[in-house]
Amino acid sequence: MRAILYTKPTIVPLSNHHNREAFDCGVVSLGRYIREQALQDAKGKIAATFVLSVDTPAAIAGYYALSSTGVNAGELPKDIAKKLPHYPLIPATLIGRLAVDHRYQGNGYGELLLLDALQRSLIATEQIGSMAVIVDVRDDKAKAFYEHFQFIPLVGCLNRLFLPMAAIKEELKGV
């Protein structure tokens, strides 16, 4: 009997039914995270990991991890900071990691994961305040990926970028 193949990509919370061993995005630390740490972080409420499946439900084509974070008000560009209350720490949502397996890269799955993460972050603001989505980037290639989607570097932080929740709301209108 032929195996039933997924035709529609799905994004679901990581569980121990997923085959974490086979994931390889070309960045050692991101492979190690999904294999060794992500389930533990989910259990401890440190980060919630969501997994993209394309062919079969157990195979991981990509993933992202979300957590709560804070941004120092002084790290925001002046034109944005001046519209905010004078709190030293501004609540935000962190995409700590986002990766696509190298066999699936270049097919729009990175964008699909990012949009899903942004949408999930926006929906969560109905219950928990967050004025932006933050990403930590490891190298120039990752930075260029997020800049492609209008993320802006935080002031004085070369490896941290952000996108205001208001811009995300506008961008996702009608999606």
Ligand X SMILES: CC(C)(COP(=O)(O)OP(=O)(O)OC[C@H]1O[C@@H](n2cnc3c(N)ncnc32)[C@H](O)[C@@H]1OP(=O)(O)O)[C@@H](O)C(=O)NCCC(=O)NCCS
**Which spans of this chain sit near ligand X (rule: CB under 6 A)?**
25-27, 30, 97-100, 105-111, 137-138, 141-142, 144-145, 148
Nearer to ligand X, 34 or 131 (CB): 34
Q: Which residue is nearest to ligand X (CB)?
A: 110
Least distance to ligand X, CB of residue 58, Å: 20
Least distance to ligand X, CB of residue 63, Å: 9
Least distance to ligand X, CB of residue 113, Å: 7
- Give the chain as a 3 state SS string: CCCCCCCCCEEEECCCCCECCCCCCCCHHHHHHHHHHHHHHHHCCCCEEEEEECCCCCECCEEEEEEEEEEEHHHCCHHHHCCCCCCCEEEEEEEEEEEECCCCCCCCHHHHHHHHHHHHHHHHCCCCCCCEEEEECCCHHHHHHHHHCCCEECCCCCCEEEEEHHHHHHHCCCC
Least distance to ligand X, CB of residue 157, Å: 15
Nearer to ligand X, 33 or 164 (CB): 33
Nearer to ligand X, 61 or 131 (CB): 61
Nearer to ligand X, 97 or 160 (CB): 97
